[in-house]
A and B are shown apart, each in its own frame.
Chain A
Amino acid sequence: SQTIHQWPATLVQPVGSPLSLECTVEGTSNPNLYWYRQAAGRGLQLLFYSVGIGQISSEVPQNLSASRPQDRQFILSSKKLLLSDSGFYLCAWRGLAVRGGELFFGEGSRLTVL
């Protein structure tokens, strides 16, 4: 069966520090991968998506970047965090052969920037 793992689950970082959030999918090949951010009490904002290794599409201009060094690994990074980067970051995957709308989400990484 397929699983998705995100880490760390929680982190507190000072303004100006770097960030690296990791997401790994197991049990599937060549998935579409997504990073979403959710501010407290709000909806999900699509940040990045990827259809293959090294292929990253950015949805909004921001202080963050994403990379896909391996087929099932998706990394969200920042060189210098801002207060506004605080939020709940969710990684998701979707199978290429799937026609419907189902995404499979990880458990999320909660980031607090102080």
Chain B
Amino acid sequence: GESVGLHLPTLSVQEGDNSIINCAYSNSASDYFIWYKQESGKGPQFIIDIRSNMDKRQGQRVTVLLNKTVKHLSLQIAATQPGDSAVYFCAEKLKTSYDKVIFGPGTSLSVIP
């Protein structure tokens, strides 16, 4: 079933350092894995996605890694900035005709200036 989530884990990172946010997924019937960023009081914003037949994809300052063997997804943010402080959610798009997108529990990233 869908993840309702526990209270959010928190990651604190010094400004300028790299951040790594991890996510474990359970559904093998997904064709895309996605990362979203949610700032306080706002709707989530798409960051990057990766197709299930890939293991790495790079964007601007972000890299997503997919390890299907252990069902693990990670988001790496290079040179973390104060504006990166937010809650980050991993999500998966199921291979159904209805394009269901299921979210993971989220991680709160706090950047220390």
Contact = CB atoms under 8 A, between A and B. Distances in A.
Interface of A: 32, 34, 36, 39, 41-46, 49, 51, 57, 59-60, 90, 92, 94, 99-108
Contact of B44 (A45, A49, A105): A105
Contact of B100 (A42, A46, A108): A46
23 contacts: A32-B99, A34-B101, A39-B4, A42-B106, A43-B5, A43-B103, A44-B103, A45-B3, A45-B4, A45-B103, A46-B103, A49-B99, A51-B99, A59-B2, A92-B101, A100-B93, A101-B101, A102-B34, A103-B46, A104-B46, A108-B41, A108-B42, A108-B43
A105 B104 contact: no
Query: Size class of B's contact patch?
Result: 20 to 34
A69 to B, nearest CB: 19
